[in-house]
Structure 1
Amino acid sequence: MSDELLKLRNEIDRLDEEILARLSERARCAQRVGEVKKGNAPFYRPEREAQVLRRLAELNPGPLPADAVKSVFREIMSVCLGLEHPQRVAYLGPAGTFSESASRKQFGSAPNFMAMATIEDVFRAVEAGNADYGVVPVENSTEGAVSITLDLLLASPVKVCGEVNLRIHQQLMSRADGIGAAKRIYSHAQSLAQCHEWLNRNLPHLPRIPVASNAEAARLAGEDPESCAIAGEAAAQLYGLNILAPNIEDDPNNTTRFLVIADHDAGASGRDRTSLVFSAPNRPGAIHTLLEPLAQHGVDMTKLQSRPAQSGLWEYVFYADIQGHQSDPAVAAALKALSERAAFLKVLGSYPVAAI
């Protein structure tokens, strides 16, 4: 071993010891925070985490990319938060789904992750206090909104306190080493739709069988060497499958947005979004009248979507996302004016804007 290499390794060892000492100091500080907060939940503050990660990304001198810095510090915060108060996070299971990947992206690896059978079960777990947080898909850039999530947000008392954007890469996987023996493909209906053109070009003769989740598809493929599954890389690792064709989604920018739900929303972080749902009185120009306060107060609306209301045939509610926190003066004024004009208004929550 050269003297130069030995010198560099000794320097790395010294830095590792210094990092460990600082991490231990941070962990002790987190424990003290937990003692101060005792009995004053919530322990997890999405706005504080967002502010910390943005600040560190801005201070980052390199050579690590900003995303790597955020990943490292999110994991540090996850473990330290676990010292304050262990978190329980419900997600749409089983293990190996994109919902689990989104949950881990948002919360790190420290929480107790709870796989739920349905999106309804995620909401129920949070409502009943059996989970501190839930992570649910709300829309996909290719396939659009997840209707059941929108309906449950309207009906449930939970709040939206965060969002996660997860780039979706679909993998064709099997126990076999090649696709020659494949006789069927399992996947969730949305994933089959997201890979529709690739499948038409490459495997048009194989029947496509929709199942409850991508993880379930991977499990079925793991039991039968004549079956393939379309799922994420995590499912392939979990069920010991070979990836036969990587990244087969038709849209290379395919992204799913997830919402984090809890019994509270988030404070202002400085870069926030507010979600709301409202209904319009049944008269000409009603929607224009409702949206007018947003324009008057300079509030940017980034999404508007209608859903059939449960109250009657041909009646609709409208879901909207606006920039800013509901405590911001302009947003608060716009929401006040909107509430005076709308037949119904529910603010679903304000929360930090997720990175793409």
Structure 2
Amino acid sequence: ALDLLSVTPLQACGEVVLRIHHHLLRKNSSNTQGITKVYAHAQALAQCHEWLGRNLPEAVRISVSSNAEAARLAAESGDESVAAIAGQTAAELYCLTKVADSIEDEPNNTTRFLVLGHQATTPTGRDKTSLVVSTPNKAGAVSALLKPFTESGISMTKFESRPSRSGLWDYLFFIDIEGHKDDAKVQAALAALEERASFVKVIGSYPMAVL
């Protein structure tokens, strides 16, 4: 998804933050007795690590491509020792029984989604701007990238690096800042950033999500 954000012609025009709840699901039985394998996406397994350690310490944890796939496997395998970690919709879709609900270790577990479209948004007074930036691989380059935001008093809410596909040891930096790209101080910071970076793309500005 991050690789695609750097090249898509679409603009980020909104964000949605959803509370995520993981449930332990299996076919027919409503208890944990006899469960020897638990399927889930790797991230879900990590987010439920402590619960699994307490309640199913001997069960083998098997990573699959998604929690939906985990639910499908639990429903279609014919093996009632198999359980899955997935959400309520997957339980209903695959007719699985909920053995335990909200087994995530962090009760405030959330996932953020960007809304992409062709339209630009106007400032609301409570906005974010998402950027993707690259810089030559040299000492102090990252510090130089961040300086325009520091000097303008702009807060960053995200900073994430990912290897670039264009060359060895080149990185793209995905940055979220507070403010709209049409705000005067954000415009000034972006102008200074473009003088320092080898690549700058504004993915979009959008209203901050309300959980």
Tell me, yes or no, whether TM beats 0.5: yes
Task: Identify the match of residue 22 of structure 2 among 138, 159, 170.
Answer: 170
Structure holding more strand per residue: 2
- Is the counterpart of residue 214 in structure 1 residue 63 in structure 2? no
RMSD over aligned Cα atoms: 1.6
Aligned residue for 1:325? 180
Aligned partner letter, 1:191: A
Equivalent-residue separation in structure 2 for 1:350 and 1:276 (angstroms): 9
Aligned residue for 2:166? 311
The 5-angstrom pairing of residues 3-152 of structure 1 reads 149-152=1-4
Q: Is the 8 A contact 2:137 2:169 kept in 1?
A: no
TM superposition outliers: structure 1 runs of 4+ over 3 Å: none
Aligned partner letter, 2:2: L
| Residues 99-123 of structure 1 deviation map (CA, whole Å, 9 limit, x = unaligned) | xxxxxxxxxxxxxxxxxxxxxxxxx
Equivalent-residue separation in structure 2 for 1:238 and 1:328 (angstroms): 45
| Residues 290-337 of structure 1 deviation map (CA, whole Å, 9 limit, x = unaligned) | 222212222222221211111222111211100011011111111111
Structure with bigger RCO (C-alpha 8 Å, 6+ apart): 2
Unaligned runs of 5+ in 1: 1-148
Aligned residue for 1:180? 33
| TM-score, normalisation: structure 2 | 0.91
| Residues 199-234 of structure 1 deviation map (CA, whole Å, 9 limit, x = unaligned) | 122112112222222122112222333321100112
- Is the counterpart of residue 289 in structure 1 residue 144 in structure 2? yes
Larger Rg: 1
Aligned partner letter, 1:349: G
Equivalent-residue separation in structure 2 for 1:241 and 1:336 (angstroms): 54
Aligned residue for 1:140? none
Aligned residue for 1:191? 44
Equivalent-residue separation in structure 2 for 1:209 and 1:282 (angstroms): 38
Aligned residue for 1:75? none
* 1:179 counterpart SS class: coil
Aligned residue for 1:157? 9
- Is the counterpart of residue 200 in structure 1 residue 49 in structure 2? no
Aligned residue for 2:82? 227
Aligned partner letter, 2:186: V
Task: Identify the match of residue 238 of structure 1 among 63, 70, 93.
Answer: 93
Equivalent-residue separation in structure 2 for 1:169 and 1:179 (angstroms): 18
* 1:228 counterpart SS class: strand
Equivalent-residue separation in structure 2 for 1:242 and 1:292 (angstroms): 53
Equivalent-residue separation in structure 1 for 2:92 and 2:208 (angstroms): 31
Unaligned runs of 5+ in 2: none
Q: CA deviation at 1:348?
A: 0.7
* 2:6 counterpart SS class: helix
Q: CA deviation at 1:289?
A: 2.2
Equivalent-residue separation in structure 2 for 1:215 and 1:235 (angstroms): 6
| Residues 163-208 of structure 1 deviation map (CA, whole Å, 9 limit, x = unaligned) | 1111111100112222213232111111111111211221121122
Equivalent-residue separation in structure 2 for 1:237 and 1:208 (angstroms): 23
| TM-score, normalisation: structure 1 | 0.56
Aligned partner letter, 1:229: A
Q: Is the 8 A contact 2:91 2:98 kept in 1?
A: yes
* 2:9 counterpart SS class: coil
User: Identity of aligned pairs, percent?
Assistant: 55
Aligned residue for 1:10? none
Q: Is the 8 A contact 2:131 2:203 kept in 1?
A: yes
Equivalent-residue separation in structure 2 for 1:198 and 1:160 (angstroms): 36
Aligned residue for 1:255? 110
Aligned partner letter, 2:40: S
Q: CA deviation at 1:280?
A: 1.7
